[in-house]
């Protein structure tokens, strides 16, 4: 998979890809992540990428020309499964969307900023609009990092234990069950006996029950459809 991220703030985005699982995935060549500073496609001597909105109103709007130049240059090199705009008025991101997007070969993530982008960008280039939740961030960068992380960890070979994405919270519309590690007892706090029993089928059953119980208590809405 290849992810091209278009942003006016690449420095805000770099660090998640330089640590942990994402870094390992990049190092192993399982994913390529490229940042494109929109400023490089700016127009005029002032390196302009945004402007006041027609009709008046506070806040700058990202202009169509730099974005057109950047997306067109990328599309000349390869074709893209999706050109995604990160925006609070997009469709809310969830595990289902992550699963399906993780099957893409090439995607572009366009990070909005200020008051957003010229509507003509959305009408012309964008194939999918994603929000990561009902709150407002100062730009799409952190959302792009969230979406990228969710996709990359699903790619074959990224997680050490190949089964572990399958038992994630949400993967069956269920929350994950509780987990424990050593010591067996800490300051009087113990581990459920069943997990120490060595009885694999009983342990599996306990985990399923716990997942259902947790989901019922915390996220009953997940059972609704
Ligand atoms: Cl994708 N962008 C911004 N700016 N704010 C958000 C968001 C995206 N998703 C939730 N809030």
Q: Where are the beta strands (DSSP E) in the chain?
A: 2-7, 32-37, 50-52, 60-62, 82-92, 106-111, 128-131, 185-186, 189-190
pLDDT for residue 114 is more than 80: no
Q: How confident is the model at residue 160 (pLDDT cuts 50, 70, 90)?
A: confident
Give the per-residue pLDDT at 129: 98
The answer to whether 86 touches 147, Cβ cutoff 8 Å, is yes
* Domains 2-152 and 169-224 fall in the same CATH topology: no
pLDDT for residue 147 is more than 80: yes
Ligand 1 centre and the CA of 143: distance in Å? 6
Pocket test of ligand 1: the residue of 88, 90, 116, 146 to mutate, having most ligand atoms within 8 Å of its CB, is 88
pTM value is 0.94
Q: How confident is the model at residue 2 (pLDDT cuts 50, 70, 90)?
A: very high
Q: Rounded distance, CA 212 to CA 209, Å?
A: 5
Phi-psi region of 11 (alpha: psi -120 to 50; beta: other; left: phi over 0): alpha
Q: Is the peptide bond before 119 cis (omega within 30 degrees of 0)?
A: no
Half-sphere exposure (Cβ direction) of 63: Cα atoms closer than 13 Å:
15
The residue whose CA has the least distance to atom 7 of ligand 1 is 88
Ligand 1 centre and the CA of 6: distance in Å? 15
Ligand 1 centre and the CA of 97: distance in Å? 16
Give the per-residue pLDDT at 183: 98
Q: Is 188 helix (H, G, I), strand (E, B) or coil?
A: coil
pLDDT for residue 77 is more than 80: yes
Architecture of 169-224 per CATH?
Orthogonal Bundle (1.10)
The answer to whether 155 touches 102, Cβ cutoff 8 Å, is yes
Strand ranges of the sheet holding 128-131, from the earlier edge strand across to the other edge: 32-37, 2-7, 106-111, 82-92, 128-131
Give the per-residue pLDDT at 163: 64
- Going from N- to C-terminal start, the domains of the chain cover 2-152, 169-224
Ligand 1 centre and the CA of 142: distance in Å? 8
Tens-place pLDDT, residues 175-215: 999 999 999 999 999 999 999 999 999 999 999 999 999 99
The answer to whether 12 touches 139, Cβ cutoff 8 Å, is yes
pLDDT for residue 224 is more than 70: yes
Ligand 1 centre and the CA of 7: distance in Å? 14
CATH 1.20.120.80 matches 2-152: no
Percent share of the chain, pLDDT over 70: 99
**Which residues line ligand 1 at a C-beta cut-off of 6 Å?**
86-88, 112, 130-133, 135-137, 139-140, 143
CA 6 to chain centre: 15
């Amino acid at each position: 998979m290849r992810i091209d991220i278009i942003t006016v703030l690449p420095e805000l985005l770099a660090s998640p890809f330089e640590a942990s699982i994402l870094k390992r995935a990049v190092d192993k060549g399982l994913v390529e992540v490229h940042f494109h500073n929109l400023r490089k496609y700016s127009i005029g001597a002032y390196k302009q990428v945004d402007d006041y909105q027609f009709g008046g109103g506070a806040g700058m709007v990202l202009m169509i020309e730099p974005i057109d130049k950047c997306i067109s240059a990328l599309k000349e090199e390869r074709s893209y499964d999706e050109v995604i705009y990160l925006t609070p008025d997009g469709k809310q991101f969830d595990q289902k969307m992550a699963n399906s997007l993780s099957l893409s070969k090439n995607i572009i993530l366009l990070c909005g900023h200020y008051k957003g982008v010229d509507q003509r960008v959305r009408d012309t280039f964008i194939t999918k609009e994603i929000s990561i939740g009902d709150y407002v961030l100062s730009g799409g960068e952190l959302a792009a990092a969230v979406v990228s992380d969710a996709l990359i960890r699903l790619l074959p070979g990224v997680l050490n234990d190949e089964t572990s994405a399958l038992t994630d919270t949400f993967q069956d519309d269920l929350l994950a069950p509780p987990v424990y590690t050593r010591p067996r007892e800490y300051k009087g706090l113990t581990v459920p006996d069943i997990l120490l029993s060595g009885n694999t089928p009983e342990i599996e059953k306990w985990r399923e029950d716990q997942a259902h119980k947790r989901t019922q208590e915390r996220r009953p809405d997940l059972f609704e459809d």
